Structure 1
Amino acid sequence: MGLKADWLREIKHILEGQGIHAENAIQDSFKLLLLKEGKLILNLISLDQYDDPEELLSYQFSCFQEGIQVIHLWEDIWQSRKEQVLSRLKSVMGLNQRLHGRSTSVEKISKEDAESFLEQYHIQGSAGGRYRYALQYKGEAVAVAVFSHKRKMKGKGEDYTSAELVRFATKDGITVIGGMTKLIKHYLRLFSPNDLMSYADRDWSVGNAYRTAGFELVAETPPSPLYVDPVSYIRYFLHRVPEESDQEKINSYIQVFNTGNLKYVLYQ
């Protein structure tokens, strides 16, 4: 049932409290919630269970071929990022208010403002980057994108440069139509890299937004092992466990994994 036995019931209760019908289902070892009449499936993964990442990917792919999206929701992500999970689900289900990107304006924002926005609205929180822009609507940021600086890619040519879209998020309850594309075009006009890459989390995404924006799928990264602190629910990659952690604390961590990423590139 998980470290907190009621977390599976809690998700369904909260979803239905917001008018979202969710139907319980079990398939093999998977504990599922069926949404959108079965067209969206939440695979609920407790920290006290073990699944083979390849089994998760295989199930996700077989559903994708039938037009069904599968989201792998881990217990620690739910416990630590409930508001962001609910926001993302409503976005995937098309329940957000829709705002046209042409009614917004692009503005450069500070590192502090970007971090605050992303911690509040992105399921993975903030991340490092060099350039930060927001879409403003009636004086309020409704979307934020963070980009890296350009890097030389001499293997592709003497003057070839590449950059990365590190983060993109919208305000809770809002979908900005064409918003990601608008921010990307602004960055490309300013810095003109030969390509812009980005990664979609396979636990959550099938890459629809990237394909719509003109990106091409170029690679699929393999699942990565992670450690979870069972108290704080903070996730660490194996090489990023805090050095000050004592061995007893490290031994209490729970090993999990993600299902990897989809790497997309927008060529110029």
Structure 2
Amino acid sequence: MQKTVHIDEDVLMSKYDIILKRILAIALHQKKAYARNTVVARVDKKNTILFLEENHLQGAMPGKYRYGLFLDGELISLAVFSGGRKMPELNIENYRSFELIRFCNKLGYNVVGGISKLLKAFVSDFQPNDIMTYTDKDWSQESTLEKIGFVKKSEIPPLKFWVNGTTRTLIKDEIQYAALQKEFPNGYLKENLGSLKLIQSIK
């Protein structure tokens, strides 16, 4: 199946190394590691931030719970989760939903079964009722998470940004949009392709 990747010029300029390695990974020029040969362990905030800054396009977000896969002592895959959230609208007592906030492999690695092993460790520790996440349609219009039990619930419309050089600011309303145009008159408007919201119910 053909894969379409949408990369804006400002993102390419600011995240060139990460984007290049991700494209090479898509082209299968990468090391293959198997999750069964790794050790899963909790990761501290400092090392989480360093790993995400080096390997995730959207940058670091430490979250509340952090799990990593280690191969011969080297961190090669990382998942970051939110705290539990009550869902009163479901009218189910003690129901807790968690968000998978960040997931990535070390650039240059394809960790086969990595996300499944990380999710299994998290579920074992916290027994969530569901795990939800968002995937960026700029990089994939169909999520591979659907292969491991996630179900697409909705599509999030494209977000608009005001780009000034290599800095992009999310536009939240028309007042902010007008202010950005005035403050950065040489900037320009961009929007992404939106995102997918997916949920995995835990039996």
Work out whether the TM-score is over 0.5. yes
Letter of the structure 2 residue corresponding to residue 194 of structure 1:
N
Which residue of 120, 132, 143 maps to 2:66? Answer: 132
Q: How does 1:1-268 map to 2 (within 5 A)?
A: 67-156=1-90, 157-230=92-165, 233-239=166-172, 249-268=183-202
CA-CA distance at 1:172 after TM superposition = 1.5
Separation of aligned partners in 1, 2:182 and 2:138: 30
Separation of aligned partners in 2, 1:166 and 1:253: 30
1:64-90 CA distances to partner (integer Å, 9 max, x unpaired)?
A: xxx321111110111011111112112
Give me the identity figure in percent.
34
* Structure 2 unaligned spans of 5+: none
* Structure 1 unaligned spans of 5+: 1-66
Identify the residue that residue 62 of structure 1 maps to in structure 2: none
- Kindly indicate whether the alpha-carbon contact (under 8 Å) linking 2:135 and 2:143 is maintained by their aligned counterparts in 1: no
1:186-219 CA distances to partner (integer Å, 9 max, x unpaired)?
A: 1111111111011110010134421122111111
Separation of aligned partners in 2, 1:178 and 1:217: 20
Separation of aligned partners in 1, 2:57 and 2:196: 17
Q: Which has the larger radius of gyration?
A: 1
- Kindly indicate whether the alpha-carbon contact (under 8 Å) linking 2:181 and 2:187 is maintained by their aligned counterparts in 1: no
Large movers: runs of 4+ above 4 Å? 245-248
Letter of the structure 1 residue corresponding to residue 54 of structure 2:
Q
CA-CA distance at 1:159 after TM superposition = 2.0
Separation of aligned partners in 2, 1:118 and 1:207: 23
- Kindly indicate whether the alpha-carbon contact (under 8 Å) linking 2:160 and 2:190 is maintained by their aligned counterparts in 1: yes
Separation of aligned partners in 2, 1:234 and 1:158: 44
Letter of the structure 2 residue corresponding to residue 234 of structure 1:
T
**Higher RCO, 1 or 2 (CA under 8 Å, sep at least 6)?**
2
Letter of the structure 2 residue corresponding to residue 84 of structure 1:
I
1:166-186 CA distances to partner (integer Å, 9 max, x unpaired)?
A: 111111211110101111111
- Kindly indicate whether the alpha-carbon contact (under 8 Å) linking 2:48 and 2:62 is maintained by their aligned counterparts in 1: no
Q: How many residues align?
A: 197
Q: 1:246 to 1:208 in 2, by over 3 A?
A: closer
CA-CA distance at 1:105 after TM superposition = 0.6
